[in-house]
Structures are given as C-alpha cells and as structure tokens.
Amino acid sequence: MGAKRYDVVFDMVGNHSSSACRRVLTRNGRYIVAGGPPFRGILLWALTRLTKPRQIAYLARPTPTDLGVLGELMASGRVTPVVDRTYPLEETSEAIRHVAAGHTRGKVVIAVTR
C-alpha cells in the first residue's frame, strides 16, 4: 500500500493486513471489512474497542438495499472503485493468473459484451 491517504478503505478480500490498511487512512478515515476470513472480522471488531477512532472497523452484512445504494454512489461518481485491469471474457484464464500472482492493486474486471 502506498503513501496516498484515503477516507475509507472498504476491504472485501482481506489480502492486506488490517494495520497496513489503517496506515493509509486519513485522520478521520474508516476501515470497513466486508470480506475475508470470518475470524479476521471478529478480531477487528474486538480491536475497535481498544483503538483510536480512526481505526474503527465495521463488520458489514450487505443487503440488496445496501448494495443498491453502493451502486448508486458509484454511478454518481461519489465512490470510485479501484480497477487494476480489465480483461475480455475470452481472457478470463489470464485474469485468474494475474490475480493468483498476488500483485493486483484493485479489482480485476471481466468484461462481458454482447
């Protein structure tokens, strides 16, 4: 993770340590956990009781309504997902190799066109 600071880190995979994610937060930033191993979420929830406000972690249980709101925020440009690479459907195996190499810096998208 780089030197850039973020207001929110929304972790859906858990491929970085929670301390690495918290280091890139702004002073009042929030670290949101919605994926990764279940024990990690429980541990982070317990740690929020002992840490400064900027290190608060939330356990998320997304609902269809919540995901709709998130979709609207992205469509309006208020939330911008980080996309590492986009692959056409025909190159899905290459996309999987790229993710398996562990060097992604955002989501890998498989584009399906009609």
Say whether both 67 and 100 belong to one domain. Answer: no
Give me 9's structure tokens: 């880190």
* Closest listed residue to residue 21, CA positions, set 40, 46, 42, 49: 40
Say whether both 74 and 95 belong to one domain. Answer: no
pTM of the model: 0.45
Provide the pLDDT for residue 51.
Answer: 63
Provide the pLDDT for residue 49.
Answer: 63
Provide the pLDDT for residue 75.
Answer: 93
Say whether both 73 and 107 belong to one domain. Answer: no
* Closest listed residue to residue 59, CA positions, set 23, 24, 81, 32: 32
Residues of the chain with pLDDT under 50: 53
Say whether both 69 and 95 belong to one domain. Answer: no
Say whether both 90 and 48 belong to one domain. Answer: no
- The residue segments making up the domain with residue 64 are 1-80
